[in-house]
Amino acid sequence: MVKKSDKSSKGPTFQIAGRNVTLPDDWIEQLQENDKKRLKDIQSRSKQLFELLITEEFTVENVIVSSHSTYFTPKSEIVIGGSSSSYSGGFTANTILQVTPSNPNIPVRQLNFSGYSALRGGDYIKAVIPSYDAQEISLLFQDSRGYSGEGSKTFYFDRLLKKEESIIELILLNNQRKPIRTERSIDYDRFKKE
């Protein structure tokens, strides 16, 4: 971790491994310029989450719905070297669907849905699958006050579908393949176009 010191001489002074190190201004500028180029390249290849959604049709073979208790400890009550209080956080639900895809060229055989579902074996569905890899990039920055430091940003990239996928939306279809029910996971809004 690089931490800026209060002292400064020629350029910004950072505390690295317990030592104060002064870096020349042009060196920092060069690092920032390199980061800008790298960021521009990454941004040109990355996509928004809503662009990385794939919709496919499936036949449901089997459904397992389970719920689990959740617990939490407030940061203010964490005890180092002792026991911390823990409080009930309610329940979370997960639905696991064993499926056969309508398109035989895709490998998906299991769909995981965060939430309850009314689906049964034999149902026809459309599933919205977020198909992406996330990559967190560390960047050097300098703010308007002249403070230099490190930060990070997450970028999203296309990937191929896998045998097991998480889904954010299930659409139950009737025999004529018309939608009759829609179920959305708890993180559905995260994938909406802003």
Instruction: Encode the chain in three state secondary structure.
Output: CCEECCCCCCCCEEEECCEEEECCHHHHHHHHHHHHHHHHHHHHHCECHHHHEEEEEEEEEEEEEEEEEEEECCHHHCCCCCCCCCEEEEEEEEEEEEEEECCCCCCCCEEEEECCCCCCCCCEEEEEEECEEEEEEEEEEECCCCCEEEEEEEEEEECCCCCEEEECEEEEECCCCCEEEEEECCCHHHHCCC
Question: 18 and 82 share a domain?
Answer: no
pLDDT tens, residue by residue, 172-189? 999 999 999 999 998 899
pTM of the entire predicted model: 0.71
How many domains would you assign to the chain? 2
Question: 181 and 125 share a domain?
Answer: yes
Question: 64 and 1 share a domain?
Answer: no
pLDDT tens, residue by residue, 46-60? 999 999 999 999 999
Question: 92 and 146 share a domain?
Answer: yes
Domain that holds residue 24: 1-45
Share of the chain above pLDDT 90, in %: 49
Question: 41 and 115 share a domain?
Answer: no
What's the mean per-residue pLDDT of the chain?
85
Question: 147 and 54 share a domain?
Answer: yes
